[in-house]
Chains A and B, each alone.
Chain A
Amino acid sequence: NAGVMQNPRHLVRRRGQEARLRCSPMKGHSHVYWYRQLPEEGLKFMVYLQKENIIDESGMPKERFSAEFPKEGPSILRIQQVVRGDSAAYFCASSPSKSGGQPQHFGDGTRLSIL
């Protein structure tokens, strides 16, 4: 049973470009969460999605960031017009339900570097 798959593992972008990060949840999981980890810090919640719906985006910056989880295919975190401050590790997690007791299973993360 494959775990949460994130790609790419590393992504390098120049300032002003777009970054697209992909996440395929574990089989049978329909709940996806994105977190950001700045250097030497803990993970910060960004957004929670179910298939075709954004449920909670309270941690998403208001501009340049968007997320989707289409009916078919992986969840995508999109960052437009990247800036140096977007350099971070972005983690995706999934769970089979929203129940608070269900552990979230994490992918290996995408490390985004902005030149």
Chain B
Amino acid sequence: AQTVTQSQPEMSVQEAETVTLSCTYDTSESDYYLFWYKQPPSRQMILVIRQEAYKQQNATENRFSVNFQKAAKSFSLKISDSQLGDAAMYFCAYRAGTASKLTFGTGTRLQVTL
């Protein structure tokens, strides 16, 4: 069974600084996709970034980028130039290529301080 592990329950970053959130996963599949979702206090689930396992190039979306290490089964999220609006729960998620469901980690709560 696929599992997703987020080992940092909470992280804190100062405004304008950079922070990295960790995620590891376990799978025997070769075709899969990885996602980071943001859940602010409003409890919406907002897609931040996604990565196809077959792509070696790390995905980037503005201030958000990932470090995808396929052999190590690691998928960390880097947030650059942190803003107050980045404060939220961040969930890492996995989806096998042929599967329907997303498997989520337990989340990392990110605080952004002045």
Contacts and interface: CB of A to CB of B under 8 A. Distances in A.
Interface of A: 31, 33, 35, 41-45, 48, 55-56, 58-59, 89, 91, 93, 98-101, 103-106, 108-109, 111
Nearest to A89: B43
12 contacts: A41-B107, A42-B106, A45-B102, A45-B103, A89-B43, A100-B96, A101-B50, A101-B52, A101-B97, A104-B102, A106-B46, A109-B45
A48 B44 contact: no
Nearest to A101: B33
A43 B100 contact: no
Interface of B: 31-33, 35, 37, 42-47, 50, 52, 91, 95-107
B107 to A, nearest CB: 5
B8 to A, nearest CB: 14
Contact of A41 (B45, B46, B95, B106): B106
Nearest to B106: A42
A44 B7 CA distance: 18
